[in-house]
Structure 1
Amino acid sequence: MRKLKYFFVAIIGLVILQGCGAYSFTGTNISPDVKTFQVEFFQNQASIIIPGIDQRFTNQLQDIILNQTNLDLTTSSGDLVYEGEIVQYYVAPTNATSSNTAAQNRLTIAINVRFYDTKNPKEDLEQRFSFFFDYPASQAETAVRDEAIQIIYDRITQDILNATLAKW
């Protein structure tokens, strides 16, 4: 009777461990036959051209996928392909003072992304992602640009990862 008890405990333990095998702590849901990804250069096609923000976004998207998945980066023939362009970069006032001047400005960046899953074309996606950064109008946009772009890109790249690999 004691051996039968251990046998059932062992079977239950195996079932539990087997169920945990497909779980990913990053929340990604990647098919086991997908091994590589590629990120094409995201050109800046916004009306305002800030040098280097296109390369910075491309690198940041590559980094987040490398850090949060077990996929390998490749320069061609990737199982997953990301491409697109920066389509919007603009600064606009958001709050006014009593003297009709801006109290706060908002930097907004929008990026159009095309995602191709060569193993499962039903998962292909084309979507626009955007985010913003608010800062006091007393500060020049150039003074907050690096911090703003970092915060915006952190959010956009996480949104892209969630939409393409986590399916959130």
Structure 2
Amino acid sequence: MRRFLLLLSFMVVVTLTFNGCGVKYGFSGGSIPANMKTVNVQYFENIAPMVYPTLSQNFTEGLKERIRNQSRLSQVNGDADAMFEGVITGYDIAPVAVGANDRAGMNRLTITVKVKYTNRLDETGESNFEQSFSQFREFMPPIQGKEEGTIPEIIKLLTEDIYNKAFANW
């Protein structure tokens, strides 16, 4: 009987540890409140001085895909438990190393996004944020043809940073 009570006590402690506090923990590194069910990702307009034509669409879809793949949240139009909105504020290609004949030996593509996250279930507003995120990748010249391969890598890094800030509080 003593063994049974000890085992039962252990099971209760384990259950409370993993189910407590009303927060769902997952293997993707996120902690999404159990009562959060929906998310709305608004279109991120590109207002950067240098514009890449499909960046707004690709970034917006990349953030939606990140949330879809790493959470249980349903994406909706209109009011939602969690809201993402913002703008692309920077798209810049700059040389970072000099090569032969004083030409760029290495270029850096940097994308900056300003994001406003609102958790409408958080009455204190402590989990809400408005912040800029920036990521870059370097590539060898020429620039032509390199942007198409570099942009998805940067979008992946940016969406990971945004997701972690919103749902993992990193």
Same fold at TM > 0.5: yes
Deviations 1:118-156 (A, max 9, x none): 11122110111111111112x2x2311121011100000
- SS in structure 2 at match of 1:15: helix
Task: Tell me the residue number matched to 2:71.
Answer: 69
- 2:25–2:32: 8 Å Cα contact kept in structure 1? no
Larger Rg: 1
Q: Tell me, in whole angstroms, the C-alpha distance in 1 between the residues paired with 2:25 and 2:94.
A: 43
Give structure 2 stretches of 5+ with no counterpart: none
Displacement, 1:7?
A: 2.0
- SS in structure 1 at match of 2:160: helix
List structure 1 segments (4+ residues) > 4 angstroms apart after TM superposition: none
Alignment equivalent of 1:126, drawn from 88, 106, 130: 130
Task: Tell me the residue number matched to 1:6.
Answer: 4
Q: Tell me, in whole angstroms, the C-alpha distance in 2 between the residues paired with 1:142 and 1:148.
A: 11
Q: Tell me, in whole angstroms, the C-alpha distance in 2 between the residues paired with 1:98 and 1:62.
A: 42
TM-score scaled by length of structure 2: 0.91
Identity of aligned residues (%): 29
Q: Tell me, in whole angstroms, the C-alpha distance in 2 between the residues paired with 1:52 and 1:46.
A: 13
Task: Tell me the residue number matched to 2:91.
Answer: 89
Task: Tell me the residue number matched to 1:145.
Answer: 147
Is 1:102 matched with 2:104? Answer: yes
Is 1:117 matched with 2:115? Answer: no
Displacement, 1:10?
A: 2.0
For 2:136, give the aligned amino acid: F
Q: Tell me, in whole angstroms, the C-alpha distance in 1 between the residues paired with 2:53 and 2:144.
A: 12
Displacement, 1:97?
A: 2.5
Query: How many aligned positions are there?
Result: 164
TM-score scaled by length of structure 1: 0.92
For 2:15, give the aligned amino acid: L
For 1:133, give the aligned amino acid: R
Give structure 1 stretches of 5+ with no counterpart: none
Across the aligned residues of Structure 1 and Structure 2, the Cα RMSD in angstroms comes to 1.3
Alignment equivalent of 1:57, drawn from 44, 56, 59: 59
Task: Tell me the residue number matched to 2:161.
Answer: 159
